[in-house]
Amino acid sequence: MTKTDKPPTAGGRSKAAIDPAAATLRKTMGDALVAIGRDRDEHAFALIYNYYAGRIKSFLMGKGMNEDTADELTQEIMLTVWRRAESYDPKKAAASTWLFTIARNRRIDYLRGNSRIEVELDDELLDIRTTESDTQARFVAQEQVADDIDAALAVLPAEQRQVMHLSYFRGMSHGAIANWLDLPIGTVKSRIRLAMQSVKSNLKGEDDVLERDDYLDSE
């Protein structure tokens, strides 16, 4: 189950270092999605496909989907990528984030028989404080944030990486992870929380309000 886990990077750095390969990959894939959307660029599509199709199939199989179904859904997802690439905005999200949300939603759709419930962006109640006023600042910061998140995740302790992997890849609930690993649920939740916070704390004051909030998680 930890086959796809990579061990945390060795070394005594106190601060996670930016991985140039990850940054290059992100740039390449982001540019490729933009090229598909703008120019129907088949070469760019092959680039995305060759890197992500096998990984998305593996992601789909993570939640117990059989190989034929996963293969079929992967093709469907990649067709969606080809057709909907115009809607990808590199200033809002990394290509991998965009692909993840498409694959995750399709997996939920298929396994559950109904769609994931999400915010509707034309909702009259939508709180637009940050989406509009801080948009420009966030656009500029996006690349830096993505670098920082990659760096933080690359050095995540193995036990935190394991629960994150089981959650995202296997789609297991925290309760199911606790059963699977034979750990108390509180331990699983605190590992998840630590992992989320290490990503957050690596984002130097990007959003100070985050630190002030009452998360109701005091014991």
* 55 makes contact with another protein (CB under 8 A): yes
Angle at 190 between CA 217 and CA 170, to 5 degrees: 120
Is residue 30 within 8 A of residue 91, CB to CB? The reply is no
Under the criterion CB under 8 A, does residue 74 sit at the interface with another protein? Answer: yes
Residue 123 interacts with another protein (CB under 8 A)?
A: yes
How many whole angstroms separate alpha carbon 173 and alpha carbon 62?
13
Q: Judged by CB under 8 A, does residue 94 bind another protein? A: yes
CB 135 within 8 A of CB 129: no
The reply on whether position 32 binds another protein by CB under 8 A is: no
Is residue 19 within 8 Å of 169, Cβ to Cβ?
no
Total of residues contacting another protein (CB under 8 A): 95
Do the beta carbons of residue 155 and residue 10 sit within 8 Å? no
Asked if residue 196 binds another protein (CB under 8 A), the reply is yes
Of 22, 141, 181, 183, the residue at the interface with another protein (CB under 8 A) is: 22
Q: If you compute the radius of gyration of the chain from its CA atoms, what whole number of angstroms results? A: 19
Least Å from the CB of residue 75 to another protein: 6
Which x/- pattern over 138-167 shows residues binding another protein (rule: CB under 8 A)? -------xx--xx--x----------xx-x
The verdict on 54 binding another protein (CB under 8 A) reads: yes
CA-to-CA separations, 50 to 45, 56, 57, 75, 208, in angstroms, rounded:
8, 11, 12, 12, 39
Is 27 among the residues that bind another protein (CB under 8 A)? Answer: no
Which lies closer to another protein via its Cβ, residue 10 or residue 216?
216
Please state the closest distance from residue 96 (CB atom) to another protein, in A: 3
CB of 149 to another protein, least distance (A): 5
